[in-house]
Chains A and B, each alone.
Chain A
Amino acid sequence: MEIAQIRRIIRICTRTGKIMLQNGAETYRVEDTVQRMAESKGLMAVNVFVIPTGIMFSAEHGIETITVLERVNPEGIDLESIDRANEFSRKFTLTDMSIEAAESNLDALLSTPQFSKKIRILASGMGGGFFVLMFGGTFIEFILAYIASSMTVYITDTIDSKHLNFFIRNIIGGFTSMLIAVLSVTLVRAIGFDATLTMVIVGPLMTLVPGVSLTNGIRDLISGELLAGSAKIMEALFIAIALAFGVGMVLQFSLKLL
Chain B
Amino acid sequence: MNLITQGIYSFLSVVGFSVLFNLPRKLILAASISGMIGWVVYITFQLLGTNFIIPAFAGSIAVGLVGEILAVVKKHPATLFTIPGIIPFVPGYGIYYTMLHIVEKDFNRALTTGAESIFIAISIACGIVLATSFIRIVRPNIEKIFKIV
User: Among residues 90 to 149 in chain B, which have CB atoms less than 8 Å away from a CB atom of chain A?
Assistant: 90-93, 95-96, 98-100, 102-104, 117-118, 121-122, 124-126, 128-129
Contact partners of A83 in chain B: CB under 8 A: 24, 76-77, 80
The reply to whether B96 and A205 contact each other, CB–CB distance below 8 Å, is yes
Of the residues A80, A123, A128, A212, contact of B15 by C-beta under 8 Å: A123
Whether, in the assembled complex, A228 has its beta carbon less than 8 Å from a beta carbon of chain B, the answer is: no
| A157 to B83 alpha-carbon distance, docked (Å) | 20
Contact partners of B84 in chain A: CB under 8 A: 79
Of the residues A29, A80, A86, A211, contact of B92 by C-beta under 8 Å: A211
Closest chain-B Cβ to A248's Cβ sits at a distance in Å of: 4
Contact partners of A251 in chain B: CB under 8 A: 100
- Chain B interfacial residues counted at CB < 8 A: 47
Indicate the member of A115, A125, A131, A245 with the most B CB atoms within 10 Å: A131
The reply to whether B12 and A126 contact each other, CB–CB distance below 8 Å, is yes
Of the residues B20, B125, B129, contact of A207 by C-beta under 8 Å: B20
| A207 to B16 alpha-carbon distance, docked (Å) | 10
The reply to whether B90 and A211 contact each other, CB–CB distance below 8 Å, is yes
A78-B22, A115-B19, A153-B20 known; A206 vs B95 contact (CB < 8 Å): no
The reply to whether A81 and B22 contact each other, CB–CB distance below 8 Å, is yes
Contact partners of B13 in chain A: CB under 8 A: 126-131, 134
Closest chain-A Cβ to B17's Cβ sits at a distance in Å of: 4
Indicate the member of A115, A130, A245 with the most B CB atoms within 10 Å: A130
User: Among residues 1 to 59 in chain B, which have CB atoms less than 8 Å away from a CB atom of chain A?
Assistant: 6, 9-10, 12-24, 39
Whether, in the assembled complex, A236 has its beta carbon less than 8 Å from a beta carbon of chain B, the answer is: yes
Whether, in the assembled complex, B86 has its beta carbon less than 8 Å from a beta carbon of chain A, the answer is: yes
Contacts from A to B (Cβ < 8 Å): 24-26, 29, 77-83, 86, 112, 114-115, 119-120, 123-131, 133-134, 153, 202, 205-207, 209-212, 214-219, 221-223, 236-237, 240-241, 243-245, 247-248, 251
The 24 sampled A-B contact pairs (Cβ below 8 Å) are A29-B77, A77-B21, A81-B22, A82-B77, A115-B19, A123-B16, A123-B19, A126-B16, A127-B20, A128-B16, A129-B16, A205-B92, A206-B93, A212-B86, A214-B91, A214-B117, A217-B121, A218-B121, A221-B125, A236-B95, A240-B95, A243-B96, A244-B103, A247-B96
Contacts from B to A (Cβ < 8 Å): 6, 9-10, 12-24, 39, 76-77, 79-80, 83-84, 86-88, 90-93, 95-96, 98-100, 102-104, 117-118, 121-122, 124-126, 128-129
